[in-house]
């Protein structure tokens, strides 16, 4: 699962190279400098100098957020020098952010805020040994062995992880051994995907089957992690006939895979599921980018008058891109043109490159947290199944990359009938089946209010659930966690905040509410077939199959 590359010459070159990959040549930084007008600059500086004066005389009331991992050590509150250091740093962060005017256009503000977060997180005193009391204590306790281990890890990451600190120890995980082990069979394979049918674990199952459409730019098995944390395992335990697509990891030879091809693949998969189960209708469940694709396919079917869709569920999926989301920082014409040209030349957008983009959207948590843990504290990164999946990146075909960038740039899905898919216009409001949407409270990629806004594009009966957790953690949310909760209610309020006020708050995972909702719409209970596949679609091999391991 390691991401390998040739050694780089120095850490500063790697940092510069990573920044160029993430944001294009000075894109958001140029936006930040452009955004800072003389008035905001003067006002922010005056406030900063005032704050420094109050810090110096010990009268400052600035204090870190209690959730900020960087300032958890008691030294930051008990030692006057370190207390002032933290206050000065936080005052600087406030000044940098205050220089961004509130009245900027949404996309310009997103780019400026991205630049500000990268700069301020990089300048945190906790990233250095002298500025990190916990690391200094560890150094004294271990007589410097933590720094020796950290330096070895640093050199290894220079050679094998593009100069970024590793986020996970993947050595204890293997797909098919302790990940993606819910019993099932590959019952269909094409150039683009394998289709998995999971074995039933109940005597009776609901008539209407469910098919998952996972993201085209990630391996499906985050929905089938270790036993007890697997969405697939839970779905079959609730009597659902459950199938999932496993996408091929494209190479430059598959550079032509585009949105239309993926849509045709989903339609083909629904036909296989219908044949195997003997049911004319199907429940489609789409996660992340797979949710975008599922919504588009549903709109295509509605335009054709094809009623094979029984229900539609979209989780952490954003179809209206004109929203206040981190990804808005990348809606920059020159940057988009350059990104298209680079992937067209290579044939793919490597998964490692895409991973860096998402990493630098949250630099404190996904870069500097591991910098401190691995290099200053000298600890190994955690062995955690979600992070192991995240490190197991897959590529994006050049055509799909171009199609997504165009969709992101033009935002055609937000206007009924403007987007065309497989020679049919897509009108999300015309989709008549019942729908279920899921957002995540701390999602930085597809904020829950943006997911709610996207849900408003659809017609018919709609339910919205808001889960605790972030973009992936909210999806990997098995029952049994005492801290888990979700809000749920009809998606009928114009404003997301008003919906939240009127929604019902339930303890536990949204998985439980969704399987009940889906089961109520999936027909009668029938005897479960013990043999998977059919005469026409005989099992080819055991799940998880071949494509997930490419």
What token pair was written down for 119? Answer: 């700069």
- pLDDT value, residue 2: 38
- Count Cα neighbours of 287 within 13 Å in the Cβ-side half-sphere: 23
CA distance 369 to 363: 8
Candidates 356, 169, 196, 335; CA nearest to 276 is 196
Instruction: Establish if 257 belongs to a structural domain.
Output: yes
Q: Is residue 355 part of a domain?
A: no
- Our answer to whether residue 288 is catalytic in this structure is yes
Residue 446 in any domain: the answer is yes
Give tens-digit pLDDT for 17-43.
444 444 443 455 555 666 667 777 888
Tokens found for residue 302: 């509605």
Burial bucket for residue 450 (CB in 10 Å: 0-12, 13-18, 19+): buried
List pLDDT tens digits, range 51-75. 999 999 999 999 999 889 999 999 9
Give tens-digit pLDDT for 454-495: 999 999 999 999 999 999 999 999 999 899 999 999 999 999
> Is residue 436 included in any domain, yes or no?
yes
Give the number of domains in the chain: 1
pLDDT of residue 5: 37
Choice among 93, 288, 451, 518 that is catalytic: 288
Residue 41 lies in a domain: no
Give the mean model confidence (pLDDT) for residues 140-166.
Answer: 94
The answer, yes or no, to whether the previous bond of 19 is cis (omega within 30 of 0) is: no
In a domain, 362, yes or no: no
Minimum mean pLDDT range among 14-18, 176-180, 218-222, 239-243: 14-18
User: Which residue has tokens 């005597």?
Assistant: 203
**For the domain that residue 235 is a member of, what is the CATH number?**
3.40.50.1820
pLDDT exceeds cutoff 60 at 7: no
In this structure, are residues 443 and 314 in contact, taking their beta carbons and an 8 Å threshold? no
Beta bridge partners of 519: none
112/259 Cα distance (integer angstroms) = 31
Domain with 192 in it: 184-330+419-549
Report how far residue 266's alpha carbon sits from residue 298's, in angstroms, rounded to the nearest whole number: 10
Question: Which of the four pLDDT bands, split at 50, 70 and 90, describes residue 10?
Answer: very low
User: Does residue 537 fall inside a structural domain?
Assistant: yes
Rounded CA-CA distance 406/336 in Å is: 9
Phi (first) and psi of residue 315, to 5 degrees: -115, 130
- Token reading at 544: 């998880």
| pTM attached to this predicted model | 0.86
Q: Cα separation of 15 and 19, whole Å?
A: 6
């Amino acid at each position: 699962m390691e991401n390998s590359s040739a050694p780089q010459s120095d850490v500063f070159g790697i940092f510069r190279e990573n920044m160029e990959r993430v944001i294009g040549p000075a894109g958001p930084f140029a936006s930040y400098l452009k955004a800072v007008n003389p008035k905001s600059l003067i006002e922010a500086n005056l406030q900063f100098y005032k704050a420094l004066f109050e810090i110096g005389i010990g009268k400052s009331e600035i204090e870190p957020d209690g959730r900020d991992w960087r300032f958890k050590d008691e030294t930051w509150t008990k030692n006057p020098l370190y207390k002032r250091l933290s206050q000065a740093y936080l005052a600087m962060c406030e000044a940098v952010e205050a220089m961004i005017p509130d009245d900027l256009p949404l996309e310009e503000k997103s780019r400026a805020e991205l630049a500000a977060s990268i700069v301020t997180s990089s300048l945190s005193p906790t990233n250095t040994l002298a500025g990190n009391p916990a690391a200094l204590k560890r150094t004294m306790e271990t007589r410097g062995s933590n720094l020796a281990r950290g330096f070895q890890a640093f050199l290894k990451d220079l050679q094998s992880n593009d100069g970024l600190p590793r986020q996970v120890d993947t050595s204890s995980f293997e797909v098919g051994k302790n990940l993606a082990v819910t019993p099932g069979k590959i019952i269909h394979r094409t150039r683009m995907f394998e289709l998995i049918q999971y074995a039933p674990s109940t005597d009776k199952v609901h008539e209407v089957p469910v098919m998952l459409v996972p993201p085209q730019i990630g391996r499906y098995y985050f929905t089938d992690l270790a036993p007890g944390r697997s969405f697939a395992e839970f779905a079959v335990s609730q009597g659902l006939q459950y199938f999932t697509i496993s996408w091929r990891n494209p190479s430059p030879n598959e550079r032509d895979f585009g949105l239309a091809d993926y849509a045709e693949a989903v339609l083909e998969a629904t036909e296989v599921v219908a044949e195997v189960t003997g049911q004319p209708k199907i429940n489609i469940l789409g996660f992340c980018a797979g949710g975008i694709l599922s919504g588009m396919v549903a709109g295509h079917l509605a335009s054709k008058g094809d009623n094979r869709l029984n229900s539609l569920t979209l989780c952490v999926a954003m179809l209206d891109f004109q929203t206040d989301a981190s990804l808005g920082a990348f809606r920059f014409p020159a940057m988009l043109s350059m990104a298209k040209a680079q992937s067209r030349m290579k044939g793919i957008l490597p998964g490692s490159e895409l991973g860096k983009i998402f990493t630098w959207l949250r630099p404190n948590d996904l870069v500097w947290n591991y910098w401190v843990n691995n290099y200053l504290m000298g600890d190994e990164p955690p062995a955690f199944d979600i992070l192991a999946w995240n490190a197991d990146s897959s590529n994006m075909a050049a055509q799909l990359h171009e199609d997504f960038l165009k969709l992101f740039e033009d935002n055609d899905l937000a206007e009924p009938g403007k987007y065309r898919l497989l020679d049919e216009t897509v009108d999300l409001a015309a989709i008549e089946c019942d729908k279920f949407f899921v957002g995540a409270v701390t999602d930085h990629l597809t904020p829950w209010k943006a997911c709610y806004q996207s849900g408003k594009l659809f017609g018919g009966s709609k339910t919205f659930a808001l889960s605790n957790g972030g973009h992936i953690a909210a999806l990997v949310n098995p029952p049994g966690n005492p801290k888990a909760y979700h809000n749920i209610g009809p998606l009928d309020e114009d404003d997301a905040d008003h919906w939240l006020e009127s929604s019902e708050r339930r303890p536990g995972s949204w998985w439980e509410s969704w399987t009940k909702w889906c089961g109520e719409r999936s027909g009668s209970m029938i005897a479960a077939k013990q043999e998977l596949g059919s005469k026409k679609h005989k099992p080819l091999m055991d799940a998880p199959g071949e494509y997930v391991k490419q």
